[in-house]
Structure 1
Amino acid sequence: MLAKVLAGFLAVLFISGVSVAGIATLSLASAAQPTVHLAGDVPAADIPQIGAIDGGVNLLLVGSDSRKGQDPAFGAEDETGDLNDVTMLLHISQDHSNVTVVSFPRDMFVSIPSCPDPAGGSFDSMSRQKINTTLTYGGLACTVLTVEQLTGLEIPFAAEVQFSGVIAMSNAVGGVPVCVAEKIEDEYTGTFLDPGMHTLSGVDALQFLRTRHGVGDGSDLTRISNQQVFLSSLVRTIKSADTLANPVKLYSLAKAALGNMKLSDTLANLDRMVSIAIALKDIDLDKIVFVQYPTGSTEGGVQPMVDAADALDSALLADQPISLSGDTGGSVEEGDAAATDPAVPADPAATPDPAATSDPGATSAPTTVLPSDVKGQTAGQATCSNGRTLDDQ
């Protein structure tokens, strides 16, 4: 979802003609939602010119479970407030050679720093609460402060998306093909998918991303792995020649993103968003890594695994590319699924040949091999959702 949103801002670059580009820019600006002020915001000296952003990027994307103004089919409004059930950090390296996307489990206990109250004043810090309460507690700015404290990173950019935004953006990209290895059955989200390939958009895409009971062991951790199946396929779709060459699809994606997301002040500038997207577009699929923040079980939820989390945080702080030694955390390789189920076709083109995508003359920082406790996959890995039937629930 995050890569899809950012890549969408490339749309303006592909719209031919000065007059058309001008109209597109005005239309996109008029679609934007009110912005959010982050605690560490400082006014930018200059708006960047069209071109890749200078240096690295840390951007936090939050998916809210709020039902305010949403379709009643998604359920009644939750009296506990807006929970950030999806919290993802995008880290683009300084040299734009690699990307790490970190998913923070919603039930992970963390300390929450003092957060500014949007109505004025501030909220007290808390020593131990689940990370998905930060959006309710102090809004998007509080979630950013919490992840900054947890990881040690500075995060100058942030965005919040609700259910309708996921639907609009999946429609704008024309659907995302996902592979299902074992049948998915989830009465809570109405997700029922047989083994094989499915192109998901709209409500179907949203419910696939939301399903927890229908995948893996039914936990939020295996839901993250399921989301990474979708995200890795999404990145491959966005970076395909057809998608990047289609100005109508890209413009629709940009408009859907701006019209359905709440952005930080620092991100709510079309030139800046385009410059971040440009930094992403030439990165090899095998250099885009999706990881789960490493956690272990505790009463009522999960908590960070200190050594593994420190290894991940240190690599990000040092701006080093990472390599995974652990498994995906729940999904299966597409080739493995095809070997056991003929309904899942093996796609040899899904995983690129590293020799064909890498630049042999390029130099980069030393790669950090993360402990096996860190689960995830690259965008170049074609994986399948490991479904769960009603009989197993």
Structure 2
Amino acid sequence: MSRGFESHALRIFICTACINEGTSVSDQLRPRSSRSRKLATIARHGRLRRSNPFIALAKVLAASLAVVLVSGVSVAAIATYDVAASVQPDVKLANETAGPATSIDAIEGGVNLLIVGSDSRKGQGEAFGPEDSTGDLNDVTMLLHISEDHSNASVISFPRDLYVPIPECPDPEGGTFDSMSSQKINTTLTYGGLACTVLTVEKLTGLSIPYAAEVQFNGVIAMSTAVGGVPVCVAEDIEDEYTNTYLEAGMHTLEGTAALQFLRTRHGVGDGSDLTRISNQQVFLSSLMRTVKSADTLTDPLKVYSLAKAVTANMSLSTSLNDVSTLASIAVALKDIDLSKVVFIQVPTGTVDGGVEAVEPDFGDLFAAVAADASLQLGGTTGGGATVDPNAPVVAEPDPAATVDPATGEVADPAVPDPAVTDPSTTVLSDSVTGQTAGELTCSVGRTLDDQ
């Protein structure tokens, strides 16, 4: 007799590439107590539930249809579970939202989804070193916000060295970890896992975050390969002996390990800081989004499936996301948002001893605008790790004759927006908030060994 059937359910998801520069726990996490010392051994526990094979088949069919419907999705890629063995245990969050009824319609209302990149080497292969060579730090922490009317979206990056208060967090093994007044945000994955990172960002921003996902190295390697590579522009040579990244100025199509190392490089871009690494990552992510939305990708079912398969084997989802209809509904909400309305943002920070801290009131104003569901418009530059592509198509300036006020005969200043046509729902952010839209063509600002 068979021992039963494992569920081979396809699941759809959107995942922004989350990569991190490998650093050891000893470099970034100093022990504070005997309680702290046991954190490196935290394990997440969960069981894969066995399901009725007919229900599993229904999920496969629903998910397959969802792939077709949401294949124009932006932000990163469609991800899929196709075998039960690739499904990781759910992560229970404090503020989870029940998913919609089984459907493939756009999810109702706005969405806040936290995407965390782990630097854990566990299960990532020998190329990244021994499994115990690092702890489990969230070197990349990004918040995806989709507006309630599904007309715009933002992807907000928090620097790994940002000092934040960490609230009391549940211990996956039972009990709780004490709150702390000021620690780097990238230690939160060590304190209680993904759920603790979510609680910390909720406390920091005042937002409720009902969805979350944790991603690892190999997902990005497979995802960049699945689309046939991601074209990136390099303004100056990039040289980084730590990630073995050496790129001459010009255009490069990156896939596999080369794409991963490009995203991990810190020493080879900007001023060598994590802040300029974030803007370098935005160059890649915006190009990845344009690639995913292109006809070459969307008309190729194998690429769509490969994108789906690439990410999920390296992803741990919150219980609220681990559902076909929820994942597909979020994808549908994203798929028709114009690239110019998807904004990549780096939170405003100032340098302090050993890291950075939020700059107020700009930091608070940013998340007040997110909470108000405003369409966000950047007031600052692309950030130190990126610059505008000099070969980008030039947008024609408006004809001054077309801006003459018929009542006064005066020519309007094109630099001053007309209050009558300005969208009242748009919030122009402080110039301390850097980033770019997914539609902007940018280049990475390289850094050679001579400057390091």
Q: TM-score, normalised by structure 2?
A: 0.76
The Cα offsets for residues 89-116 of structure 1, whole Å up to 9 and x where unpaired, read as 0000000000110000000000000011
- Select the residue among 356, 359, 382 that pairs with 1:302: 356
Please say if residues 98 and 288 of structure 1, whose CA atoms lie closer than 8 Å, have aligned partners that are also in contact: yes
1:26 Cα deviation after fit = 7.8
CA distance in 1, matches of 2:201, 2:397: 35
- Select the residue among 103, 107, 120 that pairs with 1:49: 103
CA distance in 1, matches of 2:396, 2:281: 21
- 1:332 is aligned to 387
- 2:89 is aligned to 34
- 2:393 is aligned to 348
- The verdict on how the C-alpha distance between 1:213 and 1:321 changes in structure 2, with shifts beyond 3 A counting, is same
Please say if residues 172 and 192 of structure 2, whose CA atoms lie closer than 8 Å, have aligned partners that are also in contact: yes
Q: How does 1:85-164 map to 2 (within 5 A)?
A: 85-164=139-218
Q: Which has the higher helix share?
A: 1
Q: How does 1:134-283 map to 2 (within 5 A)?
A: 134-283=188-337
Please say if residues 3 and 235 of structure 1, whose CA atoms lie closer than 8 Å, have aligned partners that are also in contact: no
Which deviates the most, 77-86 or 174-183? 77-86
Q: Which amino acid aligns with 1:384?
A: C
Please say if residues 156 and 266 of structure 1, whose CA atoms lie closer than 8 Å, have aligned partners that are also in contact: yes
Which deviates the most, 60-69 or 236-245? 236-245
Q: Which amino acid aligns with 1:286?
A: S
Which deviates the most, 246-255 or 74-83? 74-83
Q: Which amino acid aligns with 1:13?
A: A
Please say if residues 28 and 255 of structure 1, whose CA atoms lie closer than 8 Å, have aligned partners that are also in contact: no
- The verdict on how the C-alpha distance between 1:316 and 1:26 changes in structure 2, with shifts beyond 3 A counting, is closer
Which deviates the most, 370-379 or 78-87? 78-87
Please say if residues 369 and 376 of structure 2, whose CA atoms lie closer than 8 Å, have aligned partners that are also in contact: yes
CA distance in 1, matches of 2:396, 2:124: 39
Q: Which amino acid aligns with 1:2?
A: C
- The verdict on how the C-alpha distance between 1:210 and 1:10 changes in structure 2, with shifts beyond 3 A counting, is farther
Secondary structure at 2:82 match in 1: helix
CA distance in 1, matches of 2:177, 2:104: 39
- 2:73 is aligned to none
1:206 Cα deviation after fit = 0.6
Which deviates the most, 280-289 or 160-169? 160-169
1:142 Cα deviation after fit = 0.2
CA distance in 1, matches of 2:300, 2:81: 20
CA distance in 2, matches of 1:329, 1:14: 35
- The verdict on how the C-alpha distance between 1:43 and 1:235 changes in structure 2, with shifts beyond 3 A counting, is closer
1:390 maps onto 2:425 in alignment: no
1:2 maps onto 2:15 in alignment: yes
1:378 maps onto 2:437 in alignment: yes
1:251 Cα deviation after fit = 1.2
Secondary structure at 1:70 match in 2: coil
CA distance in 2, matches of 1:274, 1:145: 25
Percent of aligned positions that are identical: 65
Count the aligned residue pairs. Answer: 364
Please say if residues 11 and 250 of structure 1, whose CA atoms lie closer than 8 Å, have aligned partners that are also in contact: no
1:11 Cα deviation after fit = 6.6
Q: TM-score, normalised by structure 1?
A: 0.87
CA distance in 1, matches of 2:375, 2:293: 20
CA distance in 2, matches of 1:259, 1:323: 35
Q: Which amino acid aligns with 1:348?
A: P
Please say if residues 12 and 25 of structure 1, whose CA atoms lie closer than 8 Å, have aligned partners that are also in contact: no
- The verdict on how the C-alpha distance between 1:25 and 1:255 changes in structure 2, with shifts beyond 3 A counting, is closer
- 2:31 is aligned to none
The Cα offsets for residues 175-204 of structure 1, whole Å up to 9 and x where unpaired, read as 111100100000000000011111111111
Please say if residues 10 and 250 of structure 1, whose CA atoms lie closer than 8 Å, have aligned partners that are also in contact: no
1:174 Cα deviation after fit = 2.0
Q: Which amino acid aligns with 2:327?
A: M
Secondary structure at 1:368 match in 2: strand
- 2:59 is aligned to none
Higher alpha-carbon Rg: 2
1:32 Cα deviation after fit = 2.3
- Give the CA RMSD over aligned residues: 2.6
- 2:414 is aligned to none
Q: Which amino acid aligns with 1:92?
A: I
CA distance in 1, matches of 2:429, 2:189: 29
1:156 Cα deviation after fit = 0.7
Unaligned runs of 5+ in 2: 1-13, 19-61, 70-78, 399-420
CA distance in 2, matches of 1:352, 1:254: 39
- The verdict on how the C-alpha distance between 1:28 and 1:306 changes in structure 2, with shifts beyond 3 A counting, is farther
- The verdict on how the C-alpha distance between 1:292 and 1:11 changes in structure 2, with shifts beyond 3 A counting, is farther
